[in-house]
Amino acid sequence: MIPVGSKALSLDEVYRILFGQETLELEEAALQQVQENFSFLQKFSAKKLIYGINTGFGPMAQYRIPEADTLQLQYNLIRSHSSGAGKCMPPLLTKGLMIARLSSFMQAHSGVHPDVVKLLRDLINKNVYPCVFEHGGVGASGDLVQLAHLALVLIGEGEVWYEDKIQPTAEVFARLSLQPMKVHIREGLAVINGTSAMTGVGLVNLIEAKKLLGWSCILSAMINEIVEAFDDHLSYELNVVKKHEGQNRVAAVMRDVLKDSKMVRHRPDHLYKELEEEIFKDKVQEYYSLRCVPQILGPVYDTLVHAEKVVVHELNSVSDNPVVDHHHQNVFHGGNFHGDYISLEMDKLKIAITKLSMLSERQLNYLLNEKLNHKFPPFMNLGKLGFNFGMQGVQFTATSTVAENQTLSFPMYVHSIPNNNDNQDIVSMGCNAALMANKVIENTFEVLAIQVMTMLQAVDYLNCQDRLSSFSQRIYREVRAIFPKFIEDSPRYKDLQKIKEYLVQQVPVSV
């Protein structure tokens, strides 16, 4: 059980809620603060002009709302902004969204009734996920449209994902004896005003991106092993003279993967001696996609470290407007719902993961092109050349998918479009950035799966299983259990999906 309230949530705790089936519990002291914050706002807001309580919203804030209509105002806001389009976000991303919104409320600066946080907790713990659409939010007053669909479910309307299908919220609530949220003061505005959609997706992105980085380190080590590369480009001595943490961490992980390999070569044993040849058959240095891995994946590591810091800070922040401060007995109007922090980090993350996919594609191409590797048959074809095709067809998928990643990597952060009658004159597009990053991550698992398929075929071509490091042997055995060696041509798309699922589910190394 993960306590929420008195201390900051970590990415590891979010991982355990998302993937480990851990439940959430609201800490009593923090819940009491939520109650005190609500009670303060209830008294403070009487006969005062406060945005979103007795005014219209956005550019219509100049219109005063009669007291008799203030509660209906919140319902109008929720229903009018439940205007998303496109696909419903996958339940995993929606669960991240709900965790982020709950965490913001538990900071006790939104003036919501405690029943709101209790209902959010129950929905998360019971695996009831609002149907939140991908399209709609611009990330300035936060993720208004996405979070409106959360609010719609909280008031008992709309649809939810439950038991692997979309169902009417009212039916699921009745079955689970859940009571819809009632508006007391500003619950409608509080739920939809914030960065919780982009933050929730960002949390999932970070977890999955770290898996990809781990796999890329492993596969980059294994390709160096398979082609019997020299080991000095991974050495401590070479990398330590560069001061970047990521480069040194990646090199260390790769050395650990290869520590008992019988295939990687020590340069002094082969080249640091008197040689008579004028032209060497061996490459004196490997291609960059093999030799420069620490320098290529190092920046990916450093990007993910910084992104985690920013996204986790946002997770544990008050993401709302106005901010209700019962400690200082005031309500502060400002821009704590603006999503630029997340938008920029998601753009950087997707650029970094796209580069990771590009590295994978180049390593794949090296294995498939006999004119480069001088070691393997064209397209890793273990059958009859010309008659069989090996990995030729699958390479197209990798190339196409990496190209899509490159196009998706155009930054949303610099693509503001003023809207809302120019009230929101500069926006973050943060949820778009997070969802595009999520697509890049999903694509990259597919590219790495194709690389894995090819590398295992290479191992079988060389019949070098017993010379691999013990780590590489374990990966070889586990993947071969779901993807047997092949010679004859047959459809590979199901194999690709199996290996992709294996990569997503396994966490073989922590980078």
Which DSSP string corresponds to 70-137? Answer: HHHHHHHHHHHH---EEEEPPHHHHHHHHHHHHHHHTTS-S---HHHHHHHHHHHHTT-EE--EEE--
**Cβ proximity of 157 and 181 under 8 Å:** no
Handedness of CA 80, 86, 90, 96 (dihedral sign): negative
Q: Give the Cα separation of 360 and 358 in Å (integer).
A: 5
Q: Which residues of 390-405 are buried (b: 16+ CB within 10 A; e: fewer)?
A: bbeebbebbeebbeeb
Peptide bond into 322 cis (omega under 30): yes
Q: Does 341 qualify as catalytic in the annotation?
A: no
Q: Give ∠ CA 481-485-491 in degrees, rounded to 5.
A: 100
Handedness of CA 270, 275, 280, 284 (dihedral sign): positive
Assign 8 to helix, strand or coil: coil
Assign 399 to helix, strand or coil: helix
Q: Give the Cα separation of 322 and 320 in Å (integer).
A: 6
Nearest to 486 by CA among 464, 467, 460, 463: 460
Residues 6+ apart with CB under 8 A from 190: 105, 110, 111, 112, 116, 320
Active-site residue, from 51, 162, 287, 288: 51
Q: Give the Cα separation of 32 and 84 in Å (integer).
A: 34
Which residue carries 């001595």 as its tokens?
237
Nearest to 234 by CA among 286, 280, 305: 286
Q: Give the Cα separation of 41 and 60 in Å (integer).
A: 22
Q: Which of the residues are catalytic?
A: 51
